[in-house]
């Protein structure tokens, strides 16, 4: 028997086809690839029989080796290079929005209160060398300036920042910005081209304007928790603060749309982005069921109401998700798992009948999956292109060769925390590559630098400090 070598992406140039049979028993992965002329710097990760390994792993006859290519980074400026964002946000939804803009090249100036700053600087444990891990995760690619926006000189400094701004993002409680003297109309009077993005829990006006919002509150009110969890069980929140993050994503999306519109009109505009709006937008197919026939969906666990099998199964050493949305996938799954008898059972002849007899079908598949290791189930089904994947913990996620290949772990050196890792940038762009250029700033780290850029001299800055404005 030979070794089965699977080359992904641009690595296929080194062999005649995606999959090749090669003599490799007793050799290491690195030796095997060198024999084909595949340079080490062109590879990112190696998977042998479904498990990631080092290039020094020794191979045996019958092994399947998958090789993931390295990605080549771009040197071009990000798509938002030259855009200046004044970031008046804190906690999560707002900073997540501005981090996304910064990842794509915007110059994000994070304005914080002297002495305290963004409250997430205190949201710990965990710390990394005394720095809040929570803060570090959502504030890269920004510069920090401290300004007391209740101090007259702090207000004047913010006015100067706005004069050169393309975007102003804030997530104060509705009405706070107005009380500080910076209502959207005044911001746009200072800089008519400015896009003012306002992020709140329930909108800037209307019945929810004064309600305090946190992620858990909005997940519940937006319907997501009513759909999450197992049938008959209590509501469950999603395991990440997605109400905050989705609001930040939609806000960043709206900002880029407004920047594009400004190219036509020459004018900025005001964006009202809400956490509840993001949650309702996510209801998608469940809302479609409700609008179609009035059905109020409830928790479905890990099953899809309209497709079977489409759910989680327990293997002998973990869990896997298997999804078969048509007859072809179902047939291939049955053959790969040696369940051919299901193909002759009329109860499973098409998706409608499989849904009607889901409990029986799930039990039969579940017994077979339970006899196999998780990696074996994944290997068998991937070989026949049936959608399958393990349920991975975070240790497994960040070791996954696909995650590594796509650059989904970002690292940056921080002056206090040292080398910091965080989830990376989830998209790649061929001409205007996003990038991690700056560490999450220390409080007020760039105050003097930024004030000098907007015309303050050393004596002016010293005066601002002495007066408590910065």
Q: How confident is the model at residue 71 (pLDDT cuts 50, 70, 90)?
A: low
Which of 244, 317, 400, 413 is an active site residue?
A: 244
What is the Cα–Cα distance from 265 to 189, expressed in whole angstroms?
A: 16
Q: How much is the average pLDDT of 340-354?
A: 97
- Indicate the average pLDDT of the chain: 93
As a whole number, mean pLDDT of residues 308-331 equals 97
- How confident is residue 18, by pLDDT bands cut at 50, 70 and 90? low
pLDDT interval class at 404 (50, 70, 90): confident
Of 123, 115, 116, 113, the C-alpha closest to 88 is: 113
Residue 181 near residue 155, CB atoms below 8 Å: yes
List pLDDT tens digits, range 200-222.
999 999 999 999 999 999 999 99
Of 269-273, 322-326, 360-364, 432-436, the least confident: 432-436
Average pLDDT of the residues in 137-150: 97
Alpha helices in 19-70 (DSSP H): 29-35
pLDDT at residue 73 tops 70: no
**Whole-number percent of the chain with pLDDT over 70:** 97
**Going from the N-terminus, what domains does the chain have, and what CATH number goes with each?**
3-69 (3.10.20.30), 84-282+432-466 (3.40.50.10540), 312-388 (3.30.1540.10)
Average pLDDT of 414-423? 93
> Are 97 and 105 a contacting pair, CB within 8 Å?
no
Strand order in the sheet with 310-315: 310-315, 318-323, 388-390
pLDDT of residue 30: 87
**Residue 388 bridge partners (DSSP):** 322
Q: Are 84 and 165 in contact (CB under 8 A)?
A: yes
Say whether 400 is catalytic.
no
Name the residue with higher pLDDT: 113 or 38. Answer: 113
Give mean pLDDT, residues 364-370.
Answer: 98
Q: Is residue 72's pLDDT more than 60?
A: no
Q: Angle between the 93-103 and 242-265 helix axes, to the nearest 10 degrees? A: 50
Helix H or strand E segment including 178: helix 176-179
pTM for the full model?
0.85
Helix (H, G, I), strand (E, B) or coil at 323: strand
Q: Could you say which DSSP state residue 415 is in?
A: T
Q: If you compute the radius of gyration of the chain from its CA atoms, what whole number of angstroms results? A: 27
Q: Residue 323: exposed, middle, or buried by beta-carbon count in 10 A (0-12, 13-18, 19+)?
A: middle
| C-alpha to C-alpha distance for 333 and 323, rounded to whole angstroms | 9
Query: Once rounded to an integer, what is the mean pLDDT over residues 192-201?
Result: 98
Q: Is the pLDDT of residue 15 over 80?
A: no
State the Cα–Cα distance between residues 163 and 142, nearest whole angstrom: 19
């Amino acid at each position: 028997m030979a070794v089965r070598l699977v080359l992904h992406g641009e690595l296929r140039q080194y062999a005649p086809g995606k999959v090749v049979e090669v003599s490799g028993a007793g050799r290491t992965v690195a030796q095997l690839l060198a024999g084909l002329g595949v340079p080490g710097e062109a590879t990112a990760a190696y998977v042998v029989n479904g498990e990631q390994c080092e290039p020094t792993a020794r191979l045996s006859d019958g092994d399947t080796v998958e090789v993931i290519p390295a990605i080549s980074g771009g040197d071009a400026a990000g798509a938002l290079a030259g855009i200046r964002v004044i970031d008046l946000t804190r906690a999560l939804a707002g900073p997540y929005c501005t981090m996304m803009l910064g990842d794509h090249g915007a110059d994000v100036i994070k304005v914080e209160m002297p002495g305290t700053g963004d409250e997430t600087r205190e949201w710990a444990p965990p710390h990394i060398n005394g720095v809040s891990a929570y803060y570090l995760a959502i504030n890269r690619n920004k510069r920090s300036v401290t300004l007391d926006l209740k101090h007259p000189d702090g207000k004047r400094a913010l006015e100067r920042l706005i004069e050169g701004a393309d975007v102003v993002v804030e997530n104060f409680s509705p009405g706070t910005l107005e009380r500080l003297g910076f209502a959207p109309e005044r911001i746009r009077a200072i800089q008519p081209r400015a896009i003012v993005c306002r992020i709140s829990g329930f909108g800037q006006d209307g019945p929810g304007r004064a309600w305090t919002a946190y992620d858990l509150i909005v997940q519940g009110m937006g319907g997501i928790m009513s759909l999450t969890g197992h049938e008959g069980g209590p509501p469950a929140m999603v395991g990440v603060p997605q109400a905050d993050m989705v609001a930040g994503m939609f806000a960043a999306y709206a900002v880029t749309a407004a920047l594009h519109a400004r190219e036509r009109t020459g004018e900025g505009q005001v964006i009202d982005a809400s956490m509840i709006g993001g949650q309702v937008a996510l209801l998608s197919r469940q809302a479609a069921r409700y609008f179609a026939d009035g059905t109020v969906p409830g928790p479905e666990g890990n099953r899809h109401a309209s497709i079977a099998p489409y759910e989680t199964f327990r293997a002998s050493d973990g869990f896997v998700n298997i999804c078969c949305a048509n007859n072809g996938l179902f047939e291939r799954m049955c053959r790969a798992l040696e369940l051919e008898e299901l193909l002759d059972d009329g109860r499973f002849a098409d998706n409608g009948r499989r849904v009607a007899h889901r409990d029986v079908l799930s039990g039969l598949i579940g017994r077979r999956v339970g006899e196999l290791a998780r990696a074996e189930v994944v290997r068998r089904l991937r070989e026949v292109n049936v959608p399958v994947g393990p349920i991975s913990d975070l240790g497994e996620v960040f070791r996954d060769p696909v995650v590594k290949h796509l650059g989904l772990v970002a690292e940056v050196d921080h002056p206090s925390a040292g080398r910091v890792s965080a989830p990376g940038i989830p998209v790649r762009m061929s001409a205007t590559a996003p990038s991690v250029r700056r560490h999450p700033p220390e409080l007020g780290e760039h105050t003097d630098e930024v004030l000098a850029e907007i015309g303050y001299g050393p004596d002016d800055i010293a005066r601002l400090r002495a007066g408590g404005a910065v």
